[in-house]
Structure 1
């Protein structure tokens, strides 16, 4: 092989490598973008389920205003709905504890089933959200994504950890 043929061969191999890296980078960046969209949609669904649970808790407190813990339940529901995103987990845990302190015997069967449905939706929405966060963080942790900064300026998603059901105690 002559020097020119070797140069052409090395140039072709480098060009193929660069094209392969560009295609791989584009597919990883596209996948990461879709995962971030999935995280955002799951967060919206989670906050919707949390707001619905707060509305049900408020309805329980309004139905039995003289019941023990009704004031606490009402204020916890208000605090959970108006909490800043950074303080939302704490506020939701306080709401869970306030819900657990109410006596199910004082509730109507309709409110009890409504609360059970709302809590189930919160549990499912939280699992979907945390699954989406896990997938996005896993892809963001890969070497190629970190080295080439394929995540751009998107913030790293965080898990949403709350106590779903608190037993009455």
Structure 2
């Protein structure tokens, strides 16, 4: 073997090692980002479930009233909370938005201050969890959408994460 062929083989081996190391690092990073998306989704679900519990507490408080309209509003709240809680992941946004709209139709001054504060806290937690989740989705999609990452299929079989957009707070009408 000549010296030129040996040098070419060494350079080719170095290039393969460098590209392989880069690809391994990108695939590992993408895997960690997908784990981050999953954990952020779990936190978002927990925040949404906490808000649902607070909504049910508000509905139970409203049920103690003698007014038929308030009873109807309480039943609507419970129905929307149930729909949001049992919705499939791809339909959860719409169900949560309907719950937010139903909450927006209620007068916060007509509720006990403790429930108002609890709902505000739950909504703040939902807002923060949604932002963390969407940040994780953005970072994952940003890396997964790079041309070389797609070409080498470094994302494996991981499903492309979707953003979760809901109304953060609906002002009372």
What TM-score does the superposition give when structure 2 sets the normalisation length?
A: 0.94
2:100 maps to 96
Pairs within 5 Å for 1:147-166: 147-166=151-170
Q: Deviations over 1:55-78 (max 9, x none)?
A: 101110110114262221111111
Q: Deviations over 1:119-166 (max 9, x none)?
A: 000000000000000000000011221011010000000000111111
2:141 maps to 137
Contact 2:54 2:115 in 1 (8 A): yes
Structure 1 stretches of 4+ moved >3 Å: none
Structure 2: which 5+ runs fail to align?
A: none
1:118 maps to 122
Q: Is 1:32 matched with 2:36?
A: no
1:16 maps to 14
My pick for the range that moved more, 68-77 or 88-97, is 68-77
Contact 1:133 1:159 in 2 (8 A): yes
Contact 1:133 1:158 in 2 (8 A): yes
Q: Distance in 1 between matches of 2:148 and 2:32?
A: 17
